[in-house]
Amino acid sequence: MTHGPDSAPGDGSGGSEGAVQMAHGGGGRMMQDLIHGVIRPAFPNQQLEHNHDGAFFTPQGAELAFTSDGHVVQPLFFPGGDIGSLAINGAINDLAMCGAEPGQISVSLIIEEGFSIADLRRIAASMGSAAAAMGACIVTGDTKVVERGKGDGIFVSTSAVGPVRSASRPVPAAVRPGDSILLSGDIGRHGVAIMAARAGLTFGSPLLSDCAPLWPTVRALIERGIELHCLRDLTRGGLAAGLIEVAETVLLAVEVENAAIPVSEPVRSACELFGLDAIHVANEGRFIAFVPSDQEAEALALMRRFGDARWIGRVGEEQSGAVVLQSPYGTRRRLRLPNGEQMPRIC
């Protein structure tokens, strides 16, 4: 790796390998060194050896899903993951929510001048591991460098293409009155782990992000023949946003039992401390599935192999698009999207 005068080892910004410089983004020799020496070795595959503007693949299935996500999380490294695993699992999870298998992934990096090459190497390694764990392949990408103060360390945009394996498209419009709503596990871990990391807080129990790939759970449901009317991962805006976006798109009422929603004790305490409501807190490894009520028990049993899955509610007949939370005491309140946000830069 080429070291410039402003990236000497030990200057605090670059670690022993130095720091990214503007020239690393310029299309010259240094960019080649960065790509071939630091980034690509983390996910070697035949496609990248083409040295071309894109990747080629032959679709294995009649229909494909295509997804895209930008990642701007801070801090870049957090308990339970980092921006690399987050970006790859984000792409895999968007595919999974389309009923699609992890396939080809692209990675577009926007790096701030001065970013540590050692950290870039860690992030690339994390992307490589997350992709390999799901049999996904990082087949193409791009690297840009912006001046110090015009970025924030590193931003990672991922896109993914994968073959749809579910019998039908699991989209909001396919939700039907009477559908059961299943939640794959306890909520709020990712958002609270990020907030705790930012605040420099540690809790009695370790508070790790739930950042994880959802495809194994979705695959199990598909293989068992569960009719997946709709799948939605619960990222920005949390469980609340997932429910509301689906209800508003299909224009049906959704009723959720508040007491059925699992929230771990550390997340509950942290939410109290931060003044957050866990139902609005981001997750990176949780989803809801809308399934026919006669398959509810079978689907739930399968989902429980992968986590603390629960039945949380059902879809009503009323064409309101409203999500109503029922308390154990019989009170009901309409769940609404907050106007703005609780937590910036959460993913």
Rounded to the nearest 10 degrees, the angle between the axes of helix 265-274 and helix 189-199 is 50
Nearer to a copy of itself, 15 or 237 (CB): 237
With 0-12 / 13-18 / 19 or more C-beta atoms within 10 angstroms meaning exposed / middle / buried, residue 193 is buried
- Contact region for a copy of itself (CB under 8 A) — 7-15, 26-34, 201-209, 218-226? 26-34
**Per CB under 8 A, which of residues 292..331 are in contact with a copy of itself?**
none
Minimum distance, C-beta of residue 157 to a copy of itself, in the bound complex (Å): 4
Based on the shown chain and the rule CB under 8 A, indicate whether residue 12 belongs to the binding site for a copy of itself: no
CA atoms within 13 A on the CB side of 303: 28
Nearer CB in complex with a copy of itself: 52/305: 52
Q: Give the nearer residue to a copy of itself in terms of CB position, either 20 or 226.
A: 20
Residues between 51 and 70 with contacts to a copy of itself, criterion CB under 8 A: 51-59, 62-70
Beta carbons of 236 and 314 less than 8 angstroms apart: no
Interactions with a copy of itself, residue window 63-122 (CB under 8 A): 63-72, 93-95, 97-98, 100, 104, 106-110
**Between 43 and 259, CB nearer to a copy of itself:** 43
The residue range among 30-38, 77-85, 125-133, 176-184 that interacts with a copy of itself, by the rule CB under 8 A, is 30-38
Binding of a copy of itself at residue 161 (CB under 8 A)?
yes
Residue 154's contacts (CB-CB under 8 Å, 6 or more residues apart) are 76, 83, 109, 110, 111, 112, 115, 119, 120, 123
Q: Which of 236, 286, 310, 314 binds a copy of itself (CB under 8 A)?
A: 236
Contact, 229 vs 170, CB < 8 A?
yes
Q: In angstroms, rounded to a whole number, what is the distance separating the alpha carbons of residues 132 and 157?
A: 18
Backbone angles phi, psi at 145, to 5 degrees: -125, 135
Q: Which is nearer to a copy of itself, 146 or 304 (CB)?
A: 146
